[in-house]
Amino acid sequence: MLVGWLDRNGQLDPLAHPCDRVTRDLIRAFITEYGVGRAETTVASAVRGMVYVLRACAPPDGVGWLTKLAHSLTNTAKPSRPKLPRMVRVSDLVLLSDRLMDIGLEKLGQGHRSGAPIYRDGLIIGLLIHRPMRRRNLTDLRIGHNLFIDDFGIRITIPREETKKGVPFEGRVPERLEPAVFIYLDRVRPVLMKNGVNDNGWLWIGRQGRRMPADDISIRVTKTTREHFGRDLSPHLFRDCAATEVALERPELIGMTKHLLGYMSSASSQKSYNQATSLTAFSRHAEVIRKLRGEGS
């Protein structure tokens, strides 16, 4: 994980011993970037993983100060944040996606390359809310490998060995997003690829024309939703939003969530992702508070 981060930031010395690659400033920068949209326990776990690797490289102690830092982070980490306060309605996410793509196209039309990543981020958000796949599968989308264009539209096919639950994913990009995908492929992606490395067909292109890493996708999505909604909405949380929207708006279709989220059973998907019960309670509680304050009457 750290090696990949160093490489993406142009700070990897392939000849250096693993222990020599670790400095306090680098670890501080890594934690700052990696911590966006993640629970403190997740960050602490990542640092512990580095400690284990360095101990194996330089037994028995590895890097002493990093070990102490890992213990400190683990002991002080707060439990994962509740999902509900960070959730956003699907309709609002769709509007954000459309708005970002419009802004991106407008900038590109004015000759500003900065419009390309804005459009890309809008399309990522749109695809996440319409087809809420896991971050790894989203990152691994590759033209001609698991993303195909045929006479019926755009098809996404992910085999069982590439999914977390061992359930194959087969679906199509919704018709309303098809024009956006074609615009991305024809006009936006080539701008992102300019001066980049060889084109290996990866759908999402990031810095220096390279494949966009999963962490970069998380950072961009979380940062964008924070800017527009004031909430850190990670790619994974889109799955909660999708399942909850089904439960609230079309409860008779609740069984579809297992297919939507890639679970073997509806019970699993509802247990993991449906926040509708707590969302309804939260809304009722807010209504009571408004009435007590004399608002909305």
Mean pLDDT of 161-182: 84
Q: Is the pLDDT of residue 11 over 70?
A: yes
Is residue 36 within 8 A of residue 232, CB to CB? The reply is yes
Identify the H or E element spanning 74: helix 64-76
Buried (b) or exposed (e) across 47-79, using 16+ Cβ within 10 A? bbebbebbbeeeeeebbeebbebbeebeeeeee
Mean pLDDT of 201-215: 92
Mean pLDDT of 127-142: 88
Instruction: Give the model's pLDDT for residue 87.
Output: 66
Q: Is the pLDDT of residue 128 over 50?
A: yes
Residue 245: pLDDT band with limits 50, 70, 90: low
**92, exposed or middle or buried, with CB in 10 Å at 0-12, 13-18, 19+?**
middle
Mean pLDDT of 75-82: 70
End-to-end CA distance of the chain: 54
Instruction: Give the model's pLDDT for residue 5.
Output: 76
Q: Is the pLDDT of residue 148 over 70?
A: yes
Between the CA of residue 283 and those of 233, 277, 279, what are the distances in Å? 19, 10, 6
Instruction: Give the model's pLDDT for residue 86.
Output: 61
- At which residue do the structure tokens 């326990």 appear? 41
Residue 244: pLDDT band with limits 50, 70, 90: low
Q: Is the pLDDT of residue 277 over 70?
A: no
Mean pLDDT of 99-112: 97
Domains observed in the chain:
2-76 (no CATH), 85-234 (1.10.443.10), 241-292 (no CATH)
- The tokens for 121 are 């981020």
* Predicted TM-score (pTM) above 0.75: no
User: In the β-sheet with 153-158, what is the strand arrangement from edge to edge?
Assistant: 147-150, 153-158, 169-172
Mean pLDDT of 270-280: 44
Instruction: Give the model's pLDDT for residue 269.
Output: 41
**82, exposed or middle or buried, with CB in 10 Å at 0-12, 13-18, 19+?**
exposed
Q: Which residue has the higher pLDDT, 182 or 41?
A: 182
Q: Is the pLDDT of residue 215 over 80?
A: yes
